[in-house]
Amino acid sequence: MKEEEIRPQELFDELLRLNRLDIEKYFSKSQKHSIACPACQNKGVIAFDKDGFVFDECLTCKTLYVSPRPEKKYFDAYYTDSDSTKFWATTFYKATEKNRREMLWKPKAKLIVNKIQSFSPDTSMIVDIGGGYGTFMEEFLKLLALEHLVVEPSAYLSKVCRDKNLNVLSKFLEDMVPDELPSLRKTFVSFELFEHLHEPRKFLQTLHGLMSSGDMFIFTTLSGMGVDIRTLWQHSKAVSPPMHLNFFNPKSISHLLNALGFQVVEVSTPGKLDIDIMNNNKANLKKERFWSDFLEYASDEEKQHMQNFISDNLLSSHMMIVCLKP
C-alpha cells in the first residue's frame, strides 16, 4: 500500500489549504487554556508552533499535544460547519472510498476478528464509536455476525449508516448512558478518533463507565513516537491541528489506560506507511542525514524491511491498543 492510494497528495494538500482558512475563521479569536500532559499530567514544554496552534511535548512520557487548547465550543463549530470538514466528508472521502475499503477497512475487519478470537472470544456485540460511513462495520459483519451498534454523532453520517441497514445511535460517546446498551459481552472499537479528542481522559472515563467487567476496547490512533512524525516533526502532515490534537505513544497510552482502570492487553503499531510518507516528504528531512540518505540509497525491498522493523518495534505512527475492563 502507498500513501497516494488512500491520501492522494493533491486532495490532501487541498484539504490542508481549506483547513488553514478554517483555522482563521474558527480559532483565531478562541479562548485557550494551558493543559498538562494528557497521558501523565506532568507539565510539558513547547515543541513547536503550527498553523496558530502550539504543541507541547511532555518530557516525561514524550506525548505531543496541543496546549494551550481552545475551548471545546470552537471545535464543535468547526466540526459542524467548516469547509475542510465538508471537503473531507464528501470530495476526499468519495475519491478514496474504494481504496480505503479494500486497503484499510477489509484488513482492519479481519484484524479485529482475530483480536476478538484471541482476547475476548465470548464477545457477542461490537460497538463502533465514531463509525463514520459504517464501512468498517459492513466489512466486519461479513466476517463475524455479531450484534452491532454504530455510535456516530453526525446526522449526515448516521443517515448514511442507516441507509446501509446498520443500527446507529446518533450521539457522542461522552453523552451515552449504560442503559443504552444491552447487557451482552461487548467489544468496543474506535478508529482514528483518539487523536481528535478534546478531552481524551474524559472519553476513556465515560467509556469505562459504559463497559461491563470483561468487555474489551480496541482502538487505533497516531503515535507521536512514529518515525515519520518524529523525523518530520512540525512538517509532518499528520500533525494537523485543529483535527489532530493528541499524539500519545505506546508507553504513554498504556500509562493512561492503567491509571484509569483498564488492563492493557496488547499495543502494536501495524502501520505500513511511515517510510513512504517520509519518502514523499524528503524535502523536509534534509537535516535527518540517516533517513534522507537511506531513502536514496535503499532498494524498495530494503525499504520494506525497514518498514517491517519499524512496525515490529512499536515505532510506526499508526498504533493499535487492545485493553479490557477487568
- Tell whether residue 225 is a contact of Zn ion (CB under 5 A): no
| Closest distance of CB 67 from Zn ion, Å | 11
Q: Which stretch binds Zn ion (CB under 5 A): 52-60, 155-163, 233-241, 283-291?
A: 52-60
| Closest distance of CB 56 from Zn ion, Å | 10
Q: How far apart are CA 256 and CA 259, in angstroms?
A: 5
| Closest distance of CB 200 from Zn ion, Å | 12
Which residues, listed in sequence order, are joined to residue 323 by a DSSP beta bridge? Answer: 217, 264
- Tell whether residue 39 is a contact of Zn ion (CB under 5 A): yes
Residue corresponding to grid cell 451482552:
184
- Tell whether residue 60 is a contact of Zn ion (CB under 5 A): yes
- Tell whether residue 201 is a contact of Zn ion (CB under 5 A): no
Neighbours of 215 (CB within 10 A): 22
Q: Which is nearer to Zn ion, 95 or 259 (CB)?
A: 259
Q: Do residues 98 and 63 touch, judged by C-beta distance below 8 A? A: no
Which residues, listed in sequence order, are joined to residue 220 by a DSSP beta bridge? Answer: 191, 320
- Tell whether residue 37 is a contact of Zn ion (CB under 5 A): yes
Which residues, listed in sequence order, are joined to residue 57 by a DSSP beta bridge? Answer: 45, 64
- Tell whether residue 109 is a contact of Zn ion (CB under 5 A): no
Q: Which stretch binds Zn ion (CB under 5 A): 25-33, 36-44, 130-138, 214-222?
A: 36-44
- Tell whether residue 257 is a contact of Zn ion (CB under 5 A): no
13: cell is 494538500
- From the list 311, 233, 312, 303, the residue with the least C-alpha distance to 275 is 303
Q: How far apart are CA 106 and CA 6, in angstroms?
A: 14
Q: Do residues 120 and 324 touch, judged by C-beta distance below 8 A? A: yes
12: cell is 490532501
How long a stretch of residues is the chain? 326
Q: Which is nearer to Zn ion, 18 or 61 (CB)?
A: 61
314: cell is 512499536
Helix axes 135-143, 106-119, angle to 10 degrees: 50
Q: Which is nearer to Zn ion, 43 or 73 (CB)?
A: 43
Q: Which is nearer to Zn ion, 37 or 320 (CB)?
A: 37
| Closest distance of CB 251 from Zn ion, Å | 9
- Tell whether residue 35 is a contact of Zn ion (CB under 5 A): no
Work out which of 40, 89, 113, 260 binds Zn ion, going by CB under 5 A.
Answer: 40
- Tell whether residue 251 is a contact of Zn ion (CB under 5 A): no
Chain residues that interact with Zn ion, rule: CB under 5 A: 37, 39-40, 42, 58, 60-61, 63
